Amino acid sequence: MDLRVDGKVALVTGGSRGIGRAVAARLAEGGASVMLCARKREALEKAAAEITADGGVVDVFPANAGDPEAAEAAVVATVARFGSLELLVNNAATNPYFGRTIDIDRSRADKTMSVNLHGALAWTQCAWRLSMAEHGGAVVNVSSIGALSVSPGIGFYGVSKAALVALTRQLAWELGPGVRVNAVVPGLVRTDFSRALLELGADAVAARLPLKRLGEPDDVAKVVLFLLSEAAAWMTGATVVVDGGAMAMPSGGT
């Protein structure tokens, strides 16, 4: 299946590295013009240069995903640069706390929700108000397998991502039929963001999975491209798991 998004304009948060960078590359390869957003301009420009070198049409806008004003400025800049915004990928995330959920302090809990949940809502609201309400479109929220399971050490991160799955369903109901909203749920993927988890025993985790390997960013990016393309035209409110079979393992992971 040749998945194409020709003529579409996409915005990817957390787009300078990892899953976001891979999603942006896939969208550009599929024919979309792409705005990359993340906090650091240097990292954004490096990613954009690499994608542009492969023939993609890419621009960058530095923005903190948890700042509603930055979200609006980024969407305004995208529409001004490319004329519209039809595809939004809420990929940016943060996890400032590692430990038992019962012990998390309010400050780090608020920061987690501010980016992972409130941020995704704010970016979607801006995209809807400034383009999608009139022109239609599709949104993909990047959640986590932690939304569907118990995650030692990163439990509250999983809570925020479970809320993002619930938000996905709610927005799918409210924004249809013009805008589709779906979520993708990655398992453990080799990225800088997951480095702490990888250092705890990546090889052992991979050995237990049915597919015997961890994910790569492009494994997730290809599914995001599918959900944003017309191949998924009758999908909204869905949560697609991309985890190497982790959720198919026997209870206890044995």
Mean per-residue pLDDT, 74-89: 98
Burial class of 107 by CB neighbour count within 10 A (0 to 12, 13 to 18, 19+)? exposed
Lowest mean pLDDT among 90-104, 165-179, 197-211: 197-211
| pLDDT digit string, tens, across residues 37-46 | 999 999 999 9
What was the pLDDT predicted at 151? Answer: 84
What was the pLDDT predicted at 206? Answer: 80
Crossing angle of helices 155-175 and 120-127, rounded to 10° = 20
Using an 8 Å Cβ cutoff, are 94 and 118 in contact? no
- Distance, in Å, from the CA atom of 38 to the CA atom of 141, rounded to the nearest integer, reads 16
Q: Which residue type does 237 have?
A: G
pLDDT category of residue 254 using cuts at 50, 70 and 90: very low
Using an 8 Å Cβ cutoff, are 237 and 177 in contact? no
- Distance, in Å, from the CA atom of 82 to the CA atom of 179, rounded to the nearest integer, reads 19
pLDDT category of residue 251 using cuts at 50, 70 and 90: low
pLDDT category of residue 253 using cuts at 50, 70 and 90: very low
Helix (H) / strand (E) element for 9: namely strand 9-13
What was the pLDDT predicted at 113? Answer: 98
Using an 8 Å Cβ cutoff, are 181 and 171 in contact? yes
Instruction: Catalogue the active-site residues.
Output: 157
Please indicate, yes or no, whether the overall pTM of this predicted structure exceeds 0.85.
yes
Indicate the domain borders of the chain.
Answer: 9-241
Q: Which CATH architecture group holds 9-241? A: 3-Layer(aba) Sandwich (3.40)
| pLDDT digit string, tens, across residues 193-238 | 666 666 666 777 788 888 998 889 999 999 999 999 999 999 999 9
- Distance, in Å, from the CA atom of 235 to the CA atom of 248, rounded to the nearest integer, reads 23
Please provide the distance, in angstroms rounded to a whole number, between the alpha carbons at the two ends of the chain: 35
